[in-house]
Copies of this chain bind each other. A is one copy, B any other.
Amino acid sequence: MHTDLVAALDIGGTKIAGALVDGAGSLLVRAQRPTPAQEGAEAVMGAVRGVLADLAASPLWHRAGAVGIGSAGPVDASAGTVSPVNVPGWRGFPLVDRVAAVTGGLPVTLVGDGVAMTAAEHWLGAARGYDNALCLVVSTGVGGGLVLGGKLHPGPSGNAGHIGHISVDLDGDPCPCGARGCVERIASGPNIARRALDNGWRPGPDGDATAAAVAASARAGDPVAVASFERAAQALAAGIAATATLTDIDIAVVGGGVAGAGEVLFAPLRRSLRDYATLSFVQGLTVTAAVMGTDAGLVGAAAAASTVRSGAANGVRAVAAP
């Protein structure tokens, strides 16, 4: 039997998406359920089972040879468990074993959602052809992943590249993670909006007080809106420069809703990078926008599974059902 497809799952706090993905990264069959994030562990697992059942109803299902999961973090790839911040019912939930059981013993690969997005951008997107890359998602939170030495680098826990929770301001504002001055605490969409509001920016008649509305004001020249994006860009630049200095990457790919602000974010980001990426071996660092869009999580979960199955990534084990 020809098992050339990966059953991919993208698990977030709002929805659980699934797809059968082929070797070219095409999504042949899709399924989706809302995440019952405030319900218990079994209710959330029920939604996962529903997505898998929808996929299994496809005549293509028999070609699925593996499952790849990208999940909101933190995840524990070595234990096969997930504890997504936005899904309180899942703490140390044994997702890998449960999915393996549901799918009749397919090998299951688990990575964090930032790592999945990175796998997608490296396979088919803006990081294609780069052997050393950081990919970031700047959205409600800030996540990321790494490609090192030509391979996805999930790390033993599946969370490597989690740039949102490195501190770039060690005396800065407390972050919900417990630390201070994390990149996410300064650069996430909600924090861009909050900072603008704190400094006197007001939403328009539609009442939209999101980072997207702040971006629109910034494009129109509002100095408070511009300053809020500049501060976010400064924090991202410090974090990207730190990552480059530590891991010797050649490119940083920035995606997620906040990256949709375009030059309002990218222009100050490139300027600030010159301030922080100062050593000779990181001065050539390129920053560019992600290109894979909202399917990146599914494409990347499939890529992570394929990569791991072919033995090309460090630190993630594929787990078969007992």
Contacts and interface: CB of A to CB of B under 8 A. Distances in A.
A314 B147 CA distance: 12
A192 B79 CA distance: 41
A170 B247 contact: no
Contacts of A148: 148, 153, 155, 314
A153 B149 contact: yes
Nearest to A155: B248
A177 interface: yes
Contacts of A162: 245-246, 279, 281
A228 interface: no
Interface string A156-196: 11011111011111110000011111000000000000000
Nearest to A154: B248
Interface in A276-304: 276-281
A238 interface: yes
A243 interface: yes
A275 interface: yes
Contacts of A74: 279-281
A64 to B, nearest CB: 28
A150 to B, nearest CB: 8
A131 interface: yes
27 contacts: A74-B280, A74-B281, A76-B280, A76-B281, A131-B156, A132-B315, A149-B153, A153-B247, A154-B248, A156-B248, A159-B281, A160-B247, A160-B248, A162-B246, A165-B279, A167-B242, A170-B235, A170-B276, A177-B278, A178-B278, A179-B275, A179-B277, A179-B278, A242-B242, A243-B246, A246-B246, A247-B247
Interface of A: 74, 76, 83, 131-132, 146, 148-150, 153-157, 159-163, 165-171, 177-181, 234-235, 238, 241-243, 245-248, 250, 275-281, 314-315
